[in-house]
Amino acid sequence: MTVTVRAPAKINLHLGVGAPRPDGFHPLVTAYHAVGLCDDVTVADADTWSVHTKLPDWIDPGLLPADGENIVDRAAELLAGFHGVPRRGLVSVVKAIPVAGGLAGGSADAAAALVALDRLWDLHTSDTDLLRLAAQLGSDVPFSLVGGTALGTGRGELVTPLTDRGTWWWVVVPSPEGLSTPRVYRHFDELVPDAPERPPSADEVVAALASGDPYLLAAALHNDLELAAVDLRPDLGRLLERGEEVGALRGLVSGSGPTCVFLCEGADHAREVAGALTGPEHPVVLTTMGPVAGAHLVEYA
Ligand code: C5P
């Protein structure tokens, strides 16, 4: 049997970060938004366990984790352990989400692997248990299951769907080099030593989403990690300025970066902005839209 599950990249439309908790994680209030850049995870019956990853030519294979340390391996181990079944299967991950880019590509793969292996092994895991296992794999993994547009609290793992009346068009500019999420959070702590215990609320973005108006959303976009990401990578600051100069409603670092995203008025506008940003410094510029579904089955044979 072969099962393919697709899972989307995410953008944080609002990322409010508080002072680190005793466990080292930062409390978050975030508005997650799933966009149409997706990874596909295909699992098939096999006697042993193996994971193979296919990358587009513009993603550096050096950014991938070493064999056996992939979040897909951990997802499978966790699911198999939870049900007391052996971990076996042949897994193929076809990536289109930039690696180490702040778009939760690894989280998407973990969520897709959980759903695909649940089907392959005929486990019938409840939604509650899947979300709980997902949270153990990473702060963003529950959202990769849920998709759409949703509020994230806790360390990001507590997800509640939001009313979203828009179809939002984005230009996505990946960076050839990755940026480590823990490093960006550490730098945030250095730059903002007096961060509040309770992160800034997402109310403005929540209201803009309900209005469906891209100008309101552009004005409301907010990322507390942007300061740290741009300080570590000044080229991102220049890219954000350039995107707004060529007409994007607003540029924003995605999550912990280094991918930058630009909100546009619609599909044609996004294509224009993408065309203007494409060049020797940024040979790969993508356009996409959201919200889209979380991890979902696309093939079952
Ligand atoms: O949960 P996840 O494995 O994605 O987190 C990766 C790293 O990002 C953590 O080890 C931590 O350094 C940082 N992080 C954080 N606070 C969060 C989420 C992530 O400090 N809410």
One digit per residue, the tens of pLDDT, for the chain of length 301 reads 999 999 999 999 999 999 999 999 999 999 999 999 999 999 999 999 999 999 999 999 998 888 778 999 999 999 999 999 999 999 999 999 999 899 999 999 999 999 999 999 999 999 999 999 999 999 999 999 999 999 999 999 999 999 999 999 999 999 999 999 999 999 999 999 999 999 999 999 999 999 999 999 999 999 999 999 999 999 999 999 999 999 999 999 999 999 999 999 999 999 999 999 999 999 999 999 999 999 999 999 9
Q: Which 8-state DSSP code applies to residue 147?
A: B
CB of 178 within 8 A of CB of 63?
yes
Please check whether residues 159 and 183 belong to one and the same domain: no
| Choice from 137, 143, 185, 224 to test ligand 1 binding pocket (greatest atom count within 8 A of CB) | 185
Structural domain total, the chain: 2
Question: How far apart are the C-alpha atoms of 175 and 270, rounded to whole Å?
Answer: 18
Is 10 considered catalytic here?
yes
Question: How far apart are the C-alpha atoms of 32 and 162, rounded to whole Å?
Answer: 9
Please check whether residues 192 and 283 belong to one and the same domain: yes
Please check whether residues 39 and 140 belong to one and the same domain: yes
Measuring CA to CA, which residue among 78, 75, 30 is closest to residue 51? 75
Domain CATH for 190:
3.30.70.890
Full residue range of the structural domain in which residue 186 is found: 168-289
Contacts with 36 (C-beta within 8 Å, 6 or more apart), sequence order: 8, 288, 289, 290, 292
Considering only CA atoms, which residue is closest to atom 10 of ligand 1? Answer: 182
Please check whether residues 192 and 107 belong to one and the same domain: no
Please check whether residues 133 and 209 belong to one and the same domain: no
